[in-house]
C-alpha cells in the first residue's frame, strides 16, 4: 500500500476566512499614518499577493522610498491598526472550520498554512475567525519567502522541508501528497510550479470556473462539502 501521508497547506484570506475588507482598511490607516490623507490603498493588487510586495507597491505608487526600512515601518503601522479594524468585521469562510476539523482527525494528515501574511498579522486574522495558528503544524508566512522580492512559488519547498523535518525525513517523495488550498490563480500557479495538487475555492473575485481554467485539480464554490473534500484531499 502506498504512503498516504499528506500535507495540506491552506491559504488564509478568502480561503479560511473573510476579513470583509478590514485588512485593507488597516492598510489604509497604515498608509495614511505614513504618507498622509492622500494615500490610496487601492493602488495595488491584493489577491494572491504577499504582504511585503503589497506594501512595497503601495509605497512606490505614492512616490515614497520603498526600501527594507520603509516596508518595515508600513508593516508596524499595519499591525498596529489591524486588531481594531478586524474586531467584529471578519469570519470564517463557509465550511472552513468543518473541513479543518475533519482533516485534523485524519491519521495521515498534517495541517499547514501557506499565506502572503506576516506571522503576527496573519495570526491576528486567524484568531479573530476562531482558528488558533498553532493547530497548523507547518506555517509558511510571507516573511519566509527568500529574496528581496519574494514570490509565492518559492514558498511550497519551505513547507515541504519543514514537513520532512517534522517527520524525521519520513514523508512521501510524491509531490501529489502535498495539497495547496487557495482562492486565486496565484495559489494554483504556486502549486503547479511544483506539481502539487491544488484545491481551488471560489470567492467573489474568482469563480470555480476561473480556478479550474487556471489549472486547479478540483475547484469548488465553497468548502462546505466536508466529507467529499476530505476524501479528495486524502485520496
Asked whether residue 57 is domain-assigned, the answer is yes
User: How far is 129 from 158, CA to CA, in rounded Å?
Assistant: 26
Q: What is the DSSP letter of 144?
A: G
Q: What is the pLDDT of residue 169?
A: 93
Same domain, 154 and 52: no
pLDDT in tens, 4-19: 899 999 999 999 999 9
Q: Which residues contact 37 (CB under 8 A, 6 or more apart)?
A: none
Asked whether residue 1 is domain-assigned, the answer is no
Q: What is the pLDDT of residue 127?
A: 96
Same domain, 66 and 131: no
- Which residue has cell 479528495? 232
CATH number at residue 219: 3.40.50.1000
Task: Please state, as a whole number, how many other Cβ atoms lie within 10 Å of the Cβ of residue 120.
Answer: 14
Q: What is the pLDDT of residue 1?
A: 39
User: How far is 200 from 207, CA to CA, in rounded Å?
Assistant: 9
Same domain, 127 and 216: yes
Asked whether residue 191 is domain-assigned, the answer is yes
Asked whether residue 166 is domain-assigned, the answer is yes
Instruction: Band the pLDDT of 122: cuts 50, 70, 90.
Output: very high
Q: Which of 32, 51, 86 is the last residue of a domain?
A: 86
Q: Report residue 220 as a C-alpha cell.
A: 469548488
Rg of the chain over Cα atoms, rounded to whole angstroms, equals: 18
Asked whether residue 168 is domain-assigned, the answer is yes
Tally of structural domains, the chain: 2
Instruction: Judge whether 181 and 159 are in contact, CB under 8 Å.
Output: no
What share of the chain in percent tops pLDDT 70? 99
What share of the chain in percent tops pLDDT 90? 87
**Region 63-88 average pLDDT:** 90
Q: What is the pLDDT of residue 2?
A: 56
Q: What is the pTM assigned to this prediction?
A: 0.94
Specify the DSSP element, H or E, that contains 198: strand 197-201
**Which residues form the domain of 107?**
6-19+90-234
Q: Report residue 24 as a C-alpha cell.
A: 485593507
**Region 129-138 average pLDDT:** 97
Q: Which of 71, 86, 101 is the last residue of a domain?
A: 86
Same domain, 12 and 122: yes
User: How far is 150 from 48, CA to CA, in rounded Å?
Assistant: 13
Same domain, 127 and 208: yes
Question: φ, ψ for residue 179 (rounded to 5)?
Answer: -120, 125
Same domain, 131 and 228: yes
Specify the DSSP element, H or E, that contains 57: helix 51-61
Asked whether residue 132 is domain-assigned, the answer is yes
Q: What is the pLDDT of residue 204?
A: 82
Asked whether residue 51 is domain-assigned, the answer is yes
Asked whether residue 43 is domain-assigned, the answer is yes
Same domain, 59 and 109: no
Q: Which of 86, 106, 132 is the last residue of a domain?
A: 86
Amino acid at each position: 500500500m502506498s504512503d498516504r501521508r499528506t500535507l495540506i497547506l491552506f491559504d488564509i484570506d478568502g480561503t479560511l476566512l473573510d476579513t470583509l475588507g478590514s485588512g485593507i482598511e488597516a492598510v489604509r490607516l497604515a498608509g495614511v499614518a505614513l504618507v498622509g490623507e492622500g494615500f490610496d490603498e487601492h493602488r495595488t493588487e491584493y489577491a494572491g499577493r504577499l504582504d511585503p510586495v503589497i506594501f512595497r507597491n503601495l509605497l512606490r505608487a505614492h512616490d515614497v522610498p520603498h526600501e527594507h526600512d520603509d516596508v518595515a515601518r508600513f508593516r508596524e503601522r499595519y499591525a498596529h491598526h489591524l486588531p481594531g479594524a478586524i474586531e467584529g468585521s471578519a469570519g470564517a469562510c463557509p465550511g472552513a472550520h468543518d473541513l479543518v476539523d475533519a482533516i485534523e482527525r485524519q491519521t495521515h494528515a498534517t495541517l499547514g498554512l501557506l499565506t502572503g501574511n506576516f506571522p503576527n498579522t496573519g495570526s491576528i486574522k486567524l484568531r479573530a475567525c476562531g482558528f488558533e495558528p498553532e493547530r497548523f503544524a507547518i506555517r509558511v508566512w510571507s516573511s519566509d519567502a527568500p529574496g528581496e522580492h519574494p514570490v509565492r512559488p518559492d514558498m511550497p519547498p519551505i513547507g515541504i522541508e519543514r514537513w520532512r523535518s517534522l517527520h524525521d525525513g519520513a514523508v512521501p517523495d510524491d509531490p501529489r501528497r502535498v495539497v495547496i488550498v487557495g482562492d486565486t490563480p496565484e495559489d494554483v500557479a504556486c502549486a503547479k510550479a511544483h506539481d502539487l495538487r491544488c484545491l481551488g475555492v471560489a470567492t467573489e473575485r474568482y469563480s470555480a470556473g476561473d480556478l479550474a481554467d487556471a489549472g486547479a485539480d478540483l475547484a469548488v464554490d465553497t468548502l462546505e462539502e466536508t466529507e467529499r473534500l476530505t476524501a479528495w484531499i486524502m485520496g
